[in-house]
Amino acid sequence: MLSDWELWACANHVLQTHGDKAPLHVAEQIGALALADDQAGIRAWQAIAERIVQLTSNRDGARLQ
């Protein structure tokens, strides 16, 4: 599994690269990994997705706790 720092870096990179389409990119990655039965990969992308949600919530002016 990736470290917490690496997961945050990946989330930030996905947002910078894909912008508003980041959730679609994540879903595509998870779908491909599901077809390959790569459970570790799925967990990594789910963790990246959680961080993307946190980053985008913060961008919208919401306070992180």
Domain membership of residue 65 (yes or no) is: no
Mean per-residue pLDDT, 20-35: 97
Amino acid present at 20? D
Residue 47 has pLDDT above 50, yes or no: yes
DSSP 20: G
Domain membership of residue 25 (yes or no) is: yes
DSSP 64: P
- Please write the tens of the pLDDT for every residue from 6-24: 999 999 999 999 999 999 9
Mean per-residue pLDDT, 34-39: 98
Domain membership of residue 35 (yes or no) is: yes
Residue pair 12/22 in contact (Cβ under 8 Å)? The answer is: no
pLDDT at 1: 82
Of residues 30 and 57, the one with the higher pLDDT is 30
Joined together, the tokens standing for residue 44 give 């990594």
Domain membership of residue 18 (yes or no) is: yes
Domain membership of residue 64 (yes or no) is: no
CA 40 – CA 36 distance, rounded (Å): 11
For residue 48, the enclosing domain spans: 4-58
Total domains present in the chain: 1
Residue 65 has pLDDT above 60, yes or no: no
Q: Which residue has the tokens 């508003």?
A: 20
Domain membership of residue 63 (yes or no) is: no
